[in-house]
Amino acid sequence: MNLWRSLSARRRALALTGASALVAGGLVTIPVTVAHAATQCDVSYTSSDWQGGFTASITIKNLGDPLTGWTLGFAFPDANQRVQQGWSARWSQSGRNVTAQSESYNGALATGASTSVGFNGSWSGSNPKPTSFTINGTACNGGTPPTTPPPTTPPPTTPPPTTPPPTTPPPGGPKVDNPYAGVKGYVNPEWKAKAEREPGGNRISNNPTAVWLDRIAAIEGTDDSSSNGSMGVRDHLDTALAQGAGYIQFVIYNLPGRDCAALASNGELKADELPKYKAQYIDPIAAIQADPKYAGLRIINIIEIDSLPNLVTNTSGNPGGTAACDVVKANGAYVQGVGYALAKLGALGNVYNYIDAAHHGWIGWDSNFTPTANQLKEAAVASGSTVNNVHGFIVNTANYSALKEPYVKITDTVNGQSVRQSKWIDWNQYTDELTFAQAFRNELVRVGFNSGIGMLIDTSRNGWGGAARPTGPGATTNVDTYVNGGRMDRRIHAGNWCNQAGAGLGERPTVAPEPGIDAYVWVKPPGESDGSSKYIPNDEGKGFDRMCDPTYTGNARNGNNMSGALDNAPISGAWFSAQFQELMRNAYPPLS
C-alpha cells in the first residue's frame, strides 16, 4: 500500500547575476574593493514588502580568495525589523544585528561564485533596507566611502511629511480558500511530450499533473539514464509563468528513511539524515519558491507521500510491520521532517501545503482512522510548525482506490450479513475514496485542524472502466458474491499498489467537485511506473519490491494474495508505455 514516483531531471547551474552599484526599486547592491585581499564580496538585497511583513532575497558573490565557509552580517536600520524564518543559512538576530552562517552545501564559494539565501521578516513603522554587509567580519562596502556631492539647495528647516509604506498583500496575495479555483493549472511539458508520443495520448496531455521532487538533485535537475524529466524547480516555475498558469503542484518526497514499508520507493536519505533533509532539500526548495518573481503563482505542495500513516500501521506489532518503520518512528525523522517542511514552506504567502493522508484501504478501519489523524496533528505542530501551515490533505495519492462505489455501500446487507464481513471489505468502514475523504476531513477538524481545510483526491488511475466495469449490484448469494460482483475497484486486494492490471484513468482534474473536496487531481502522472517487475540496477536508490512482481503470491499486508502487477515494468518514475495505454483504454469516464 505504499506507492512511488520519481522525477529525474537534468542538472542545471542556476544563473546568478553579478551585483552592480545600484540602489533602486528595492535593490541594494554594494560593490567591494576591500584592503584585505582575502575576503572581497558583492551583496545584493531585494525585498517584497507588505503591511507588517516582507520576504528578503540576498545574493552573496565572492570576489576574493576561495571561501570554505562564510558568515553574513548586517544590521536592520529600524529596531522593529525582525527575521522570522530563513532558509539556506543558519539565521540569528540580536537586537538589530543579523547573522547568517553558511550551510554545509553552500559554504564553499570559489572566486566569482555566488549563492542565494533569504528570509521572511516582520516590521512595524517602516521597513528600510540594510545598507552595509560583512562577510566573515570584513566589510562588503569597500575601502573608500562614497563621496557625497554638496546639496544644490539648502536643506529644509522642517522635515518633509513621511509617507506610510504602501499596503500590499503578502506574496501571492491573501491566501484563498481553494487554490485550484478560478485559475488554470500548470501542464508539465515533459510529461505532455511523453504522453503525446503515445498513440491517442493527445486526448489527455493538456491536463495538469504534479512535479515530483524525489531527490536533492531534482531541485536543480538531473540527467539520469532512466530520466523522466530534465527540468528543475525554477525551470518549472518559469514555465508556469510563461503558460499563464495560476497554480503549480509539487510533490515534496524525500524524507529520511522514506517509505519504510516498501522497497520500490526507498529514497536517497538514510533514516538518520534529518539535518541533511532540512538543509539540502527543504531549504533550497523554500528559497526558490520564495522568489518574489513567483509571488502571483499559487504553489501547491503535496507533503511526503506514504510517510506518517506508516508510523501507525507498519511498525512492530502490526501485520507485516518492519524494523525500518520502527527506526523512523523512534528517531522522529518523519514527524520532525514533515513539521519542518510545513513550517518552512507554509511561511510563504503564496504556498499551499496538503499533507498525504493515505487512502481508505489503508486507514479506513477504526483501529487506524483516529490514530492516523492524531499522528498527522503531531507532525503538523512539530519543528516550529502550527496547523495554520496546513491547507488541507490528499488521499489516494498514486493509488487505485475507486472514487465511488455506487453498487456497494457500507450499510448494505446480504441475507442478514453486513458487507463489512466480506473478504474484500474485511471490516473496513469505507468502500470508496470520496466517502472516506469527507469523513476523514471531519475527523481531522475534530482533532484540531482548522475547519476550513480542504481535501484532494488523486484520480489519475482509479477509473476502472472498460469491459470489466460492473453495471449493477453483484449476486446476492452471499456477501462475497455481492461485493465482488458489484465493486468498481477490480484489484485482487485493496492492499495491492504497484502497476495494477486493469486500472484506468479516473475523473479528470476538477475543481470543487463535492462538499469538502478542493479538487480531483492527477498527482501521479499517468504512465509513470510504480516500480520494476524485477530488479533493475539504478543510481536513484530504488530497490526491487516483490509487490511489483506479477508472480508474487503476497504477504500479510495484502492477505497473501497475488500482487496484480503488470509485467515488464521499469523502475519507479520511469515511463511505462504499456500501462499508459491500458489506463487510456480503461478510462472512466471514457475518453472520446
Is 530 one of the catalytic residues? yes
Q: Please, which pLDDT band fits residue 264 given cuts at 50, 70 and 90?
A: confident
- Annotated ligand binding at 399? The verdict is yes
Catalytic residue among 306, 458, 489, 545: 306
166 within a domain of the structure (yes/no)? no
Residues 457 and 329 in one domain: yes
Of the candidates 81, 111, 139, which is a domain's last residue?
Answer: 139
Domain limits at 109?
32-139
Mean pLDDT of 384-400: 97
Strand partners, 494: none
DSSP calls for 273-317: -HHHIIIIIIHHHHHHHT-GGGTTSEEEEEE-TT-HHHHHHSSTT
- Annotated ligand binding at 528? The verdict is yes
Whether the predicted pLDDT of 558 surpasses 60: yes
Q: Which CATH number covers residue 282?
A: 3.20.20.40
pLDDT value, residue 5: 30
User: By C-alpha distance, which of 460, 473, 469 is closest to 412?
Assistant: 473
C-alpha 44/C-alpha 375 separation (Å) is 42
Is residue 531 classed as helix, strand or coil in its secondary structure? coil
CB 395 within 8 Å of CB 438 = no
159 within a domain of the structure (yes/no)? no
Residues 256 and 316 in one domain: yes
CB 390 within 8 Å of CB 464 = no
Is 489 one of the catalytic residues? no
Q: What is the pTM of this model?
A: 0.73
pLDDT value, residue 227: 42
E runs forming strands in 534-573: none
Q: What are the pLDDT digits (tens) for 322-361? A: 999 999 999 999 999 999 999 999 999 999 999 999 999 9
- Annotated ligand binding at 362? The verdict is yes
Residues 215 and 107 in one domain: no
C-alpha 361/C-alpha 369 separation (Å) is 11
Residues 103 and 241 in one domain: no
Catalytic residue among 49, 235, 259, 545: 259
522 within a domain of the structure (yes/no)? yes
Catalytic residue among 480, 489, 518, 530: 530
3-state secondary structure 432-497: CHHHHHHHHHHHHHHCCCCCCCEEEEECCCCCCCCCCCCCCCCCCCCHHHHHHHHCCCCCCCCCCC
pLDDT value, residue 556: 83
Residues 330 and 459 in one domain: yes
Is 259 one of the catalytic residues? yes
- Annotated ligand binding at 103? The verdict is no
Of the candidates 99, 116, 139, which is a domain's last residue?
Answer: 139
Q: At what angle do helices 323-331 and 333-346 cross, to 10 degrees?
A: 50
- Report which residue type is found at 68: T
Q: How many domains does the chain have?
A: 2
Of the candidates 139, 155, 176, which is a domain's last residue?
Answer: 139
Share of the chain above pLDDT 90, in %: 70
pLDDT value, residue 389: 97
Residues 199 and 86 in one domain: no
Q: What are the pLDDT digits (tens) for 43-97? A: 989 887 777 778 788 989 998 889 999 999 999 999 999 998 777 889 999 999 9
Q: Which CATH number covers residue 53?
A: 2.60.40.290
Residues 365 and 513 in one domain: yes
68 within a domain of the structure (yes/no)? yes
Listed in sequence order, the residues at least 6 apart from 519 whose beta carbon sits closer than 8 Å to its beta carbon are 178, 180, 454, 456, 457, 509, 510, 511, 512, 513
Q: What are the pLDDT digits (tens) for 449-488? A: 999 999 999 999 999 999 999 999 999 999 999 999 999 9
Whether the predicted pLDDT of 143 surpasses 80: no
pLDDT value, residue 229: 53
Residue 240 host element (H or E): helix 233-243
**Residue 515: DSSP 8-state:** T
3-state secondary structure 146-162: CCCCCCCCCCCCCCCCC
296 within a domain of the structure (yes/no)? yes
C-alpha 53/C-alpha 171 separation (Å) is 10
Residues 220 and 109 in one domain: no
163 within a domain of the structure (yes/no)? no
Residues 358 and 446 in one domain: yes
Count of Cβ atoms closer than 10 Å to residue 24 Cβ: 7
Count of Cβ atoms closer than 10 Å to residue 522 Cβ: 24
Residues 254 and 353 in one domain: yes
Q: What are the pLDDT digits (tens) for 152-203? A: 444 444 444 333 333 333 334 578 999 999 999 999 999 999 999 999 999 9
User: By C-alpha distance, which of 298, 31, 39 is closest to 179?
Assistant: 298
Mean pLDDT of 94-104: 91
- Annotated ligand binding at 497? The verdict is yes
Average pLDDT over the chain, rounded to an integer: 87
Provide long-range contacts, Cβ within 8 A and 24+ apart, for 43-47: 43/19, 43/72, 43/74, 43/133, 43/135, 43/140, 44/19, 45/74, 45/129, 45/130, 45/133, 46/292, 47/127, 47/129, 47/292
Pairing of strands 53-62, 41-50: antiparallel
Whether the predicted pLDDT of 14 surpasses 60: no
CA 284 to chain centre: 13
284 within a domain of the structure (yes/no)? yes
Q: Apex CA 63: angle with CA 59 and CA 68, to 5°?
A: 80
CB 89 within 8 Å of CB 56 = no
Is residue 361 classed as helix, strand or coil in its secondary structure? helix
Side-chain half-sphere exposure of 156, counting CA atoms within 13 A: 4
8 within a domain of the structure (yes/no)? no
